[in-house]
Amino acid sequence: MTVPPRYRLSEAEKDALLAEQAALIERLAARIAELEALVGRPKKTSANSHLPPSQDGPGGKPRKTKRQRKPRPSRPGVARPLAPDPDRTERCLAETCPHCHAALSASVQRCRHRYDHIDLPEVRPVVTRVELFGGRCGQCGRRYRAGPPAAMPPGTPFGPGIRSLLAYLHHSHHVSFERLARMLNELFGLTISEGAIANAFRRMGAALDTARAAIKAKLLSASIIASDETTTRVNGVTHWQWVFHSDAAVLHTIAPSRSRAVAAAVLGEHQPEVWISDRYAGQQELGRIHQVCLTHVLRDVQYAIDCGDSVVAPKIREHLRWAIRVGKRRPSLKDSTLAAYAAKAERGLDALLGVPAAHPAGRELQRQIKAWRGKFFVFLSDRRVPPTNNGSEQEIRPSVIFRKVTNGFRSDWGPGIHAGYRSVTGTARRQGQSAWTAIQNLVGGTFAVA
C-alpha cells in the first residue's frame, strides 16, 4: 500500500485507497487468526494422532481412567482339572489305622482323594557320536567311507530342536544372543557361543526364503489385502518393515524405503479387490477399492476437538463411531438392512461436511475428509472388510517390541531372517498353529502353506 499524499484526494482516489486498505486488513486478520490458532494448538499425543504412547512425554495428560463399576458378586472357586492322561500314577495305601494302629488290608481300601503333582524333568542335551567307518576296497584299491545318517549330517553339531528353540526365543520373545547363550548353559547345560547362534540363524535363510515365496504366492491370490509399515534399524540406518496380510497369509519385508515402490514390488501385477491401510500416500491406489482405517481418522477428529472445535468434529466422531458399531453387528444384519445403513452413513457424512465450520480446526478436518471421501464406509457394503486396520497393527506390534529391545539389526542378513520368521509364524497362526510348532516344522522341512 502506498503512503497517502498530503494534498487533498479525489473521490476516485479515496475509493481506491479504501479498497486497498480493506484488502490489507482482511489479509492481516486472516494471518492473525492463523497465528492464534498455531499458538493455541494442543500437543499431538497418542490419543489424537498416530504417535505412539512412548512419545507422549512426561508432561502429558493422564489417560482417562475407566469409570468405577459395581463389584461383581463372588464366584465359587475352581480348581485345576486333573490331567486326562497322567504319565505315572502313584497309589498310596494305608498300612495301619491312624486311630487304633490296627493293620489294614489293601483289599478293603478305595481311593478317597486324588490330585496331580506336576513338575519338569531335568532337561539335558542328548549327544550322539556319529562314527563313519571305511577302508580300502579290495577290488579297485580305492578308499571308501560310509555315508552319514540323513538326520545327522556333518557340519553344525546342533540339531533341529536346538535351532528351533534359538529362533523361537530370539524372534518371538526377544532374547538377545548373550542371554540366549547364558540361558542354554544354565537351564540345559549346553555350551553355545554367540557366533554359533548367529551361524544357526544364517543357515535358516534358505528355508525361510522358500517359505516366504510360498506365502507370497498365497497372499497374491487374495482379494482383500491389508498393509502397514513401521521403522526399524539396520546397521544404525533407518529402514522400514512392511507387513501385508490376508485371511490366510502374512508377509513381512524390510526395505530401506517407505515409498510406494515397496508395496508395488510385492504385489507385482496383482491388484486386490479391496486394499486396507491408513492414509499414507505410499499406500494409495494399490487396490480397486480402498478402505481407510477409521481408527486413524478418529485420532485426527480428536485432535480437532482438542484444538477447540466444538461443532463439527464432535458430530463427525459420533457418526464414525456409530458406523463402526453397525459394522460389528454385520453378521446379524440382512443385506437390505446393511445397504440402508451404508446409505445412511454416506448421507450423514455428506451433511456434516456441509455444516459451516467456524473454527479453523473444523475446516481443516472437513478438508481432509473431503480428500478421502468414498473410502470410509466400504466395510458397510462388503462384509469381509474390517472398518479399521487393527489387524496390521497387531501383526507388526511384535516387531516393534523386538526393535525396542534389540535396537535393530547389526548384520545384513538379520532383517531377512526376522522378516521370514514373522511371515512363517504369522501365516501359521492363521492356520491354527502356534509359533513354536511353525518354526519346528520349518526347521524340520515340513512347513507348508495351506
DSSP characters over 298-322: HHHHHHHHHHT--SHHHHHHHHHHH
Grid coordinates in use for 272?
Answer: 486386490
* Structure confidence by residue, pLDDT tens digits, 80-112: 899 999 999 999 999 999 999 999 998 889 999
Tell me, what's the pLDDT at 357? 82
Q: Answer for the pair 384, 289: CB distance below 8 angstroms, yes or no.
A: no
Amino acid, single-letter form, for residue 32: I
Give residues with Cβ within 8 angstroms of 70, minimum separation 6.
none
Among 18-32, 87-101, 180-194, 212-226, which is the least confidently predicted range?
18-32
Residue spans of the domains in the chain: they are: 217-290+389-433, 294-381
pLDDT recorded at residue 156: 87
Give the pLDDT score at 255.
Answer: 95
| Cβ–Cβ under 8 Å, residues 145 and 417 | no
For the segment 252-266, what is each residue's pLDDT rounded down to a tens digit?
999 999 999 999 999
- For a pLDDT cut of 70, what percent of the chain falls above it? 92
At residue 399, the pLDDT reads 95
- Work out the average pLDDT over 207-220: 96
Q: 65 falls in which pLDDT band (50, 70, 90)?
A: low
Q: How far is the C-alpha of 438 from the C-alpha of 427, rounded, in Å?
A: 9
pLDDT (average), residues 323-331: 94
What is the CATH code of the structural domain delimited by 217-290+389-433?
3.30.420.10
Residue that wins the pLDDT comparison between 73 and 55: 73
User: Residue with C-alpha cell 540339531?
Assistant: 159
Confidence of residue 375 (pLDDT cuts 50, 70, 90): very high
User: Please, how many CA atoms are within 13 Å of residue 23, restricted to the half-sphere of its CB?
Assistant: 6
Tens-digit pLDDT profile for residues 379-435: 999 999 999 999 999 999 999 999 999 989 999 999 999 999 999 999 999 999 999
Query: What distance in Å separates the CA atoms of residue 357 and residue 210, rounded to the nearest whole number?
Result: 55
pLDDT reading at 267 higher than 90 = yes
HEC states along 192-250? CCHHHHHHHHHHCHHHHHHHHHHHHHHHCCCCEEEEEEEEEEECCEEEEEEEEECCCCE
Average pLDDT score over the chain: 89
pLDDT for 74:
77
pTM: 0.81
pLDDT in tens, 238-255: 999 999 999 999 999 999
Closest Cα partner for 241 from 250, 231, 233, 251?
231
Report pLDDT for 58. Answer: 66
Position 380 scores a pLDDT of: 94
Report whether pLDDT(3) > 60.
no
For the segment 153-181, the average pLDDT, to the nearest whole number, is 94
Query: Does residue 77 surpass a pLDDT of 80?
Result: no
Q: How confident is the model at residue 26 (pLDDT cuts 50, 70, 90)?
A: confident
pLDDT band at 5 (very low <50, low <70, confident <90, very high): low
- The pLDDT value given to residue 309: 86
Q: Would you state the pLDDT for residue 94? A: 92
Contact partners, residue 14, CB within 8 Å, separation at least 6: none
